[in-house]
Amino acid sequence: MSVSVVILAAGQGTRMKSDTPKVLHEISGKPMLFHIVEAARALSDDITVVLYHRADAVREAIEAHYDNIAFHLQDAENYPGTGGALRGIEPKHARTLILNGDMPLVTPEALHRLVEPDADIAMSVIKLENPDGYGRVIIEEGEVKEIVEQKDCNEAQLCVDTVNAGVYAVDTALLRRYIPQLRNDNTQKEYYLTDIVKMAVDEGKHVVPVFVEEALFKGVNSKADLADAEAIMQARIKRRWMQEGVRIRMPETVYIDARAVFEGECILENGVTIEGACRIVRSHIKAHSVIEESTMIDSDAGPMAHLRPGSYLEKTHIGNFVEVKKSTLKGVKAGHLSYLGDSEIDEGTNIGAGVITCNYDGKAKYKTRIGKNVFVGSDSQLVAPVTIEDEVLVAAGTTVTKDIRSGALAISRTPLKTVAGFFRKFFGGVQ
């Protein structure tokens, strides 16, 4: 079915108390608006986003990720409100689906249900225990008669618990005709999109309520709503990956970015955080590790390991308190307490406890290259830029400040001195 989509995203979002435009606040690593744009793209090839507040910032964010999205700048000074937002928009298709930009949990399947009914207008409604803040929907004999905004409700209308979730599928010809006729004679002096319902009813048109799940149509207006929406999104993301075969221990303690992907059988232990567009293939991430924008293939990390952006691990073991940044490790073991930054480490190499790549001199970052089958002894420092070729043995406690040729031993050590009987002389003791 061909349908046009209009996403309303011009509002300021005052209740977020933030400098970031409301629709750019992230949920599971992606701005709210991106989630909606993606749901819309599953349905339509004609999507318009309505902007006003911080229009440039929102537009740039979308354009950096999606093509083929049209933008419409609302004349919000003269025509404020959700009805004003639609003035001047020319949808291509015979039906127009109108969505709110602050509704990040909606899915293409849920939107399908709104476009399905063959009605002049189909609109999303929810029954709520606490309808506070929403427009109340007056339904008679299975059809919607009117939407009354909370601020315009009388006592009886305030008690109505069926509310407008804010998504509508409207006959485009009707929309074109009604929008210019909207008036702002209400408490907020705004042009309400919701008034098109009454206009349609007065003309004998059919407005069908589609009852929807609150968890899918939840609007985000505050940071508390943002946290609630994220909890719903996280549960959904984890359920999806568990269905794909990822084992998640104590899922409620795990965070997975919406951009992350898993392949094959993976295990995430409790407290794991996966940030950004990670790719995790047949790997085991142990408790309380943080993986950011990295790839792991046939590897394991943690407990309490940290992969920072740009890390690539293949057939590699990373143990506790090991931090890896922008490094490629293939067939490597680094079991304990290391920092490996801007490095390339090859097969069969063992990185001892406490090994540090000194990749930064206070001005610039430098690379460390370590070949195959190298044994780097514990507590060594590798001062970059530096290359350690294949089959090198670096003795424990060595500070490597120059390139080491294949097959060599590298050792820098102050000779050990012992002073017999010193302890008792110094501390005193049994005479």
Note whether 317 and 334 are within 8 A (CB): yes
From 100, 289, 343, 349, residue interacting with ligand UD1 (rule: CB under 6 A): 100
Partner whose footprint covers residue 193, from ligand UD1, Mg ion, none (CB < 5 to 8 Å by kind): ligand UD1
Nearer to ligand UD1, 14 or 401 (CB): 14
Burial label for 388, CB within 10 Å (0-12, 13-18, 19+), is buried
**What string marks each residue from 199 to 238 as x (binds Mg ion by CB under 5 A) or -?**
--------------------x-------------------
Q: What is the dihedral of CA 368, 369, 375, 380, to 10 degrees?
A: -10
Q: How far is the CB of 147 from ligand UD1 (least distance, A)?
A: 5
> How far is it, in rounded angstroms, from Cα 389 to Cα 372?
7
Q: How far is the CB of 219 from Mg ion (least distance, A)?
A: 5
Whether the link from the prior residue into 385 is cis, omega within 30° of 0, is: yes
Binding status of residue 194 toward ligand UD1 by CB under 6 A: yes
Q: How far is the CB of 62 from Mg ion (least distance, A)?
A: 20
Binding status of residue 168 toward ligand UD1 by CB under 6 A: no
343 phi and psi, to 5 degrees? Answer: -125, 160
Q: Taking the CB of residue 290, how many other CB atoms lie within 10 A of it?
A: 20
Nearer to ligand UD1, 4 or 381 (CB): 4
> How far is it, in rounded angstroms, from Cα 104 to Cα 346?
43
Residues numbered 23 to 62 that lie near Mg ion (CB under 5 A) are none
Q: Which of 112, 206, 288, 336 is catalytic?
A: 336
Please name which of 327, 326, 301, 332 lies closest in space to residue 314, comparing C-alpha atoms.
332
Strand partners, 50: 8, 72
Note whether 372 and 389 are within 8 A (CB): no
Nearer to ligand UD1, 16 or 163 (CB): 163
Q: Which residue is nearest to Mg ion, using beta carbons?
A: 219
From 4, 82, 294, 398, residue interacting with ligand UD1 (rule: CB under 6 A): 82
Note whether 289 and 317 are within 8 A (CB): no
Burial label for 196, CB within 10 Å (0-12, 13-18, 19+), is buried
Q: How far is the CB of 237 from ligand UD1 (least distance, A)?
A: 23
From 147, 175, 285, 404, residue interacting with ligand UD1 (rule: CB under 6 A): 147
Binding status of residue 397 toward Mg ion by CB under 5 A: no
> How far is it, in rounded angstroms, from Cα 413 to Cα 431?
37
Nearer to ligand UD1, 74 or 234 (CB): 74
Binding status of residue 104 toward ligand UD1 by CB under 6 A: no
Binding status of residue 102 toward ligand UD1 by CB under 6 A: yes
> How far is it, in rounded angstroms, from Cα 307 to Cα 300?
11
| Active site (annotated) includes residue 336 | yes
Residue 216's H or E segment, with its range, is: helix 214-217
> How far is it, in rounded angstroms, from Cα 132 to Cα 63?
35
Nearer to Mg ion, 117 or 219 (CB): 219
Binding status of residue 98 toward ligand UD1 by CB under 6 A: no
Nearer to ligand UD1, 162 or 399 (CB): 162
> How far is it, in rounded angstroms, from Cα 198 to Cα 204?
10
Query: What six digits make up the tokens of 415?
Result: 């000779």
Note whether 261 and 280 are within 8 A (CB): yes
Terminal-to-terminal C-alpha distance of the chain = 99
Q: How far is the CB of 210 from ligand UD1 (least distance, A)?
A: 14
> How far is it, in rounded angstroms, from Cα 315 to Cα 333?
9
**Total interface residues for Mg ion by CB under 5 A:** 1
Partner whose footprint covers residue 114, from Mg ion, ligand UD1, none (CB < 5 to 8 Å by kind): none
Q: How far is the CB of 224 from ligand UD1 (least distance, A)?
A: 15
From 34, 178, 192, 262, residue interacting with ligand UD1 (rule: CB under 6 A): 192
Nearer to Mg ion, 30 or 218 (CB): 218
Residue 427's H or E segment, with its range, is: helix 422-427
Q: How far is the CB of 128 from ligand UD1 (least distance, A)?
A: 10
Residues numbered 9 to 68 that lie near ligand UD1 (CB under 6 A) are 9-11, 50
Q: How far is the CB of 119 from Mg ion (least distance, A)?
A: 24
Note whether 175 and 91 are within 8 A (CB): yes
Residue ranges in contact with Mg ion by CB under 5 A: 219
What residues are labeled active site? 336
Residue ranges in contact with ligand UD1 by CB under 6 A: 8-11, 50, 74, 76, 80-82, 84-85, 100-102, 134-135, 147, 149, 163-166, 192-194, 219
